[in-house]
Structure 1
Amino acid sequence: MTDTALKLGDHVPDLSLNLADGRVLSSADLAGRPYLLYFYPKADTPGCTTQACSIRDHKASLASLGLTVIGVSPDPIAKIQKFEAKYALDFPLASDEDHSIAEVFGTWVEKSMYGRKYMGMERSSFLVDSAGVIRFIWRNVKPAEHVQLVTEAMAQLG
């Protein structure tokens, strides 16, 4: 995470998210309602599938809280579309191939596996209130715990 990354209490700047369905979702489209921006490393991998399917399975309860959920990965649109179709994911997923959104949120980070260092997406989530302010941040969130954490946070926001 860089020192310039968004932090708790920051206003989310204007964003433009390229959705898998071909639409572009902007901050203006989200104005006046809370939303969860969750960053995941790679479509159709075990952890990302667990997380996405949990959100899908709890979509109605999250929506009843007034929450819109958007997933963001560095995958190309075509891969995200296959992921959506394979698991019947019915919420917006965005491609951030150039990592521009991830860099703003500080989720494009150096990672290490088997001693090899590389840049990749950190599994993190940002709960943004209806005024566009980041109210909760979960870094390196566990996929199976994600929905529960978000639900509890929404209850705190009232």
Structure 2
Amino acid sequence: MQLKVGDKAPDFETQDQNGQPLRLSDFRGKKVVLYFYPKDDTTGCTAQACSLRDNYDSLRQAGYEVLGVSVDDGKSHQKFIGKYNLPFSLIADTSKEVVEAYGVWQEKSMYGRKYMGTVRTTFIINEDGVITDIIDKVDTKRHAAQILK
């Protein structure tokens, strides 16, 4: 099932980088940037996270909470956050429940080899839990600008 603008964002219950429970519904009443990325501490994912970090104050002033999601575990997320001083939570979706619920766990191809992985996608969710924008052509270096447009 492909999510689209106007759909209710699938709620989830999972853990953040510290093993603390985290639900999308905990953010009801706030706008959420829910961004999915392939892997901690890789070139594109680092550029994307740093764009959000460098513009975090502007995102917060615009009323956004930022949540990153990858299938990496909490320990990997903690190192990534520490290395780049990221001010937002990263969801450790090791069970792949969240990436599958949002339709971003898909077949990919690199050097002719096919494999399953996370397709870099960002969902903007309003205060009522409805998807208001989907960014599927992410500019990793200018991602915050894409959100704040």
Q: TM-score range by the shorter chain?
A: over 0.9
Return structure 1 stretches of 4+ with deviation > 4 angstroms. none
Q: Say whether 1:107 aligns with 2:104.
A: yes
Residue 59 of structure 2: aligned partner? 62
SS in structure 2 opposite 1:12? coil
Give me the whole-angstrom Cα distance separating, in 2, the residues matched to 1:98 and 1:142: 27
Residue 136 of structure 1: aligned partner? 133
Deviation at 1:144, TM superposition (A): 1.3
**Identity of aligned pairs, percent?**
44
Which letter does structure 2 place at the counterpart of 1:63?
R
Q: Say whether 1:29 aligns with 2:23.
A: no
Q: Say whether 1:96 aligns with 2:126.
A: no
- In structure 2, the gaps of 5 or more residues are none
Give me the whole-angstrom Cα distance separating, in 1, the residues matched to 2:95 and 2:19: 17
Deviation at 1:28, TM superposition (A): 2.5
Deviation at 1:145, TM superposition (A): 2.5
- Would the aligned equivalents of 1:5 and 1:103 in 2 still touch at CA under 8 Å? no
Give me the whole-angstrom Cα distance separating, in 2, the residues matched to 1:127 and 1:36: 5
Root mean square deviation of aligned Cα: 1.0
| Counterpart pick for 1:12 among 9, 13, 20 | 9
Residue 45 of structure 1: aligned partner? 42
The alignment of Structure 1 onto Structure 2 pairs a total of residues equal to 149
Residue 81 of structure 1: aligned partner? 78
Give me the whole-angstrom Cα distance separating, in 1, the residues matched to 2:14 and 2:5: 21
SS in structure 2 opposite 1:47? helix
Q: 1:27 to 1:70 in 2, by over 3 A?
A: same
Residue 148 of structure 2: aligned partner? 151
Deviation at 1:15, TM superposition (A): 1.2
